[in-house]
Amino acid sequence: MSSVAAARALLAGLIEGGLTHLVLAPGSRSAPLVHAAAEAEARGEVTLTVRIDERVAAFTALGLATAGSGIVGVVTTSGTAVANLHPAALEAAAARTPLIAITADRPAELQGVGANQTVDQRGVFGAAPRWERTLEAGIDPAGARAAGLAAAAAASGRRSGVPGLAHINVRFREPLTPPPGAAVPAPLGGGRGPESARVEGESRFGGVV
């Protein structure tokens, strides 16, 4: 299964589970999630906001969730970028705010080989998440979609009765973008109406990866 297909399936599960808004802090390893999110936003299934700085992205997502925007996700690339989500993630857990941290990660063959900024992202938020899981590279669509549903349920409190933080760490293997001319999947259905992505300094986030 390609990384882009995994990202599409994961996002489908999150949206089906009630995710309403995604805040993206794009990077190279998170490119599959960026492409999947752009497709979903174009179909009116989710609202996107882009923030270049990961810490700003995390607190933007926290603010949206606190203001009643439903389940909100924040997407970051791999490595030290993930650490910048930590303060907002802890606040979401303490304040029982429905936030999902969706972190891109390197596959197993790129772990522990001295690659720049590679860190062990499993359990990075300690005991704060209500639910967390690392999806290995090549996960099948059904598994990715199920993980999205589980994360949304945990963040909303449908599993425990207490909303809060959920964390999905996804190990993506190259290629990280769709092949040229690839068809865009059909809509999931039940879209929330098209809305433009909001970007710092740009009218659209377009090809930022």
Determine the pLDDT at residue 119: 79
Residues contacting residue 161 through CB under 8 Å, at least 6 positions apart: none
Calculate the alpha carbon distances from 171 to 6, 101, 102, 115, 190 in Å: 10, 14, 11, 15, 29
Structure confidence at residue 108 as a pLDDT band (50, 70, 90): confident
Please indicate whether residue 150 or residue 183 has the higher confidence score (pLDDT).
Answer: 150
Burial of 200: CB neighbours in 10 Å, binned 0-12, 13-18, 19+? exposed
Q: What would you measure as the largest C-alpha separation in the chain, in angstroms?
A: 45
Percentage of residues of the chain with pLDDT beyond 90: 63
| Mean pLDDT across the chain | 84
pLDDT at 180: 60
Between residues 105 and 195, the one the model is more confident about: 105
What local confidence, expressed as pLDDT, does residue 137 receive? 79
pTM: 0.84
What is the structure's pLDDT at 75?
Answer: 97
